[in-house]
Structure 1
Amino acid sequence: MPVEPTPAPTAAAPSPTVPPRVRSALARYRVAAFVVGWGLLLLCATMVLKYAFGMDWAVKVWGPIHGVLYVGYVLLAFDLAYKDRWSLLGILKVLVAGVIPVLSFVAERWVHRSVLARRRI
């Protein structure tokens, strides 16, 4: 009995190419989103220390640090938005995600997938 040759695997559909300047801005944004996400969770923990245990110093120390981190997040989000030509609504969604605990992690995944698929945010 003759054995039929197996067909060669078909190549996956080519993914859209992301311009290098967008790719580098995306990498910077992803780091910022991760750092701000963890920083916001830490800020929530310091608020628990302040209100539950009277440790005011925790928020006094971490609050300004988180503020600086968030400003960096905003600047890097604007950089990516400018280079990838986001809509105003997309920019607002990403900026709001930076102030709601855990949402920056969700927004980072959404932005990453959308940029790589070349979908407009």
Structure 2
Amino acid sequence: MKDIKRFRIIGIIEGASLIILLFLAMPLKYWAGLPEVVTVVGSIHGALFIGYILFTLYTTYKVRWSFIWLFSAVAVAFIPFGNFVLDWRIQAKYS
């Protein structure tokens, strides 16, 4: 269960970085003329995204998730608030 808990934490952090990128950094770039905010936040989000994908693969192997769980975990990383919905589903299944 430690692997599931770590995955949930990493998923929430990665999901939050996407929200910050889309709803804070992007408006600051286009409305306030601050493109450097997207550069910084985008770089952080990119690193977190790569870590999330790697940890998704690791968790899939350790927990023996099905392909559906693996696909879902990767797909929600591209949807705002998707990681939060997946976290809710994982919490319901493993709690």
Settle same-fold status: TM greater than 0.5: yes
In 2, Cα distance between the equivalents of 1:79 and 1:24? 12
8 A contact 1:77–1:94 mirrored in 2: yes
What secondary structure is seen at the aligned counterpart in 2 of 1:86? coil
Aligned pair 1:56/2:43, yes or no? no
Which residue, out of 9, 18, 24, partners 1:40? 18
Which residue, out of 50, 66, 75, partners 1:96? 75
| Alignment: residue pair count | 94
**Cα offsets for 1:13-72 (capped at 9, x unmatched):** xxxxxxxxxx11111101101111111111011011112222101101110110001111
Give 1:1-121 correspondences, 5 Å limit. Answer: 23-44=1-22, 45-114=24-93, 116=94
Residue 109 of structure 1 and its aligned partner are, at CA, apart by 1.6
What secondary structure is seen at the aligned counterpart in 1 of 2:72? helix
In 1, Cα distance between the equivalents of 2:53 and 2:70? 10
TM-score (norm 2): 0.89
TM-score (norm 1): 0.71
In 2, Cα distance between the equivalents of 1:83 and 1:109? 20
> What is the percent sequence identity of the aligned residues?
31
What secondary structure is seen at the aligned counterpart in 1 of 2:7? helix
The structure that has the greater radius of gyration is 1
Structure 1 runs (4+) greater than 4 angstroms displaced? none
Gaps of 5+ in 2: none
